[in-house]
Amino acid sequence: MKKILAICLVYFTHQLSAQVSEYPLKKSSLLWKIEGTGLSDPSYIFGTMHMIEREYFFFPEKLEKLILNTEELVMEIDGLPTREESMILLKLNEGSFFDYFTKEQSDSLFQWASANLNMKETLFRKTMDSMKPFVFVQLATQWKFLGNMESYEQTFEALASTHKIPIAGLETAADQMAIFDHLNKAQQTEMVMESIRNPEKIMEQTREMERLYVDQNIDSMYMMIMKHESVIVDEKAAFLDDRNKRWIPLIMNHIKSHPTFIAVGAGHLGGPNGVVRLLQREGFTLTPIRIK
């Protein structure tokens, strides 16, 4: 009985000592210092935007120095898969891309490809026929940033490679692809149609998200994601919450071994079940550090 009471007391004390930030945050940042719970050296976690217009991209010297002073870079995945691996992940096992769409929807896709990619129906059919719907979503997303895009992940990876800093991943490309593969046919169809519906509104939302990013307000970014009707919001657990929870023990293993710089999408940091608050619930102290 005494042993059980002692265990309960330790657990209760741990819960009391875990200072979880209020929601929404009064003081926010894209960069957080991780300390406590027996760490001999601090680690850092930074929220990225996987694709961002050049005018909103900032990478101050302070950020670079922090990476160079840690012993490992941890990202969502540890680099891009090879072309052969990508084709395995992105190709349908059976059927056609166009099986997902009505004739009217296919016609809208043909019109979009012709207007934006200068790709006629025959070539578009040949290009997309064996591909998963996710491929078109990525194509439409990247097209918005054509010629004006920066990538934090590529910048981090290049910096780590130059200075021979080991890179690790919290997931594999296959893990990420599985999230989309588990969506039903109607959801995958809707994701494609969302990507071309009302392009002016989509670009306006993108700019609003970029402005929130520059303001370093991770809770506002999370709230913006949640307020829009989309497949991602409908499947919030699969896209955000469940992944955040799976990452915590992995992150803990890295930061307990050595000073680590972690870079994941900023949408994963904020919110009630974001990585910042999940780490705080584990007893770590997370301090926001403004970098601009």
DSSP per residue, 124-165: HHHHHTTB-HHHHHHHHHHHHTTTSEE-HHHHHHHHHHHTT-
Confidence at residue 4, expressed as pLDDT on a 0 to 100 scale: 43
Q: Is 21 helix (H, G, I), strand (E, B) or coil?
A: coil
Give 65's DSSP letter: H
Please report the pLDDT score of residue 9 as a whole number.
39
CA dist 48 and 221 (Å) reads 12
Q: Which of these, 211, 163, 150, lies nearest to 66 by C-alpha position?
A: 163
Before 24, cis peptide (omega within 30)?
yes
Residue 258 DSSP SS3: coil
Distance from C-alpha of 233 to C-alpha of 235, rounded to nearest angstrom: 5
CA distance 267 to 245: 14
List, run by run, the mean pLDDT of 10-residue segments along the chain (292 residues).
42 54 96 96 97 95 95 93 92 98 98 96 98 96 88 95 97 95 97 93 93 97 92 93 98 98 98 98 97 82
For the chain, the domains span: 2-91+131-289
In the chain, what's the furthest Cα-to-Cα distance? Answer: 76
Residue 29 pairs in a beta bridge with none
Q: Give the pLDDT score at 18.
A: 64
pLDDT at 81: 84
In the structure encoding, which two tokens stand for residue 88, read together? 């395995």
Output the pTM of the full model: 0.91
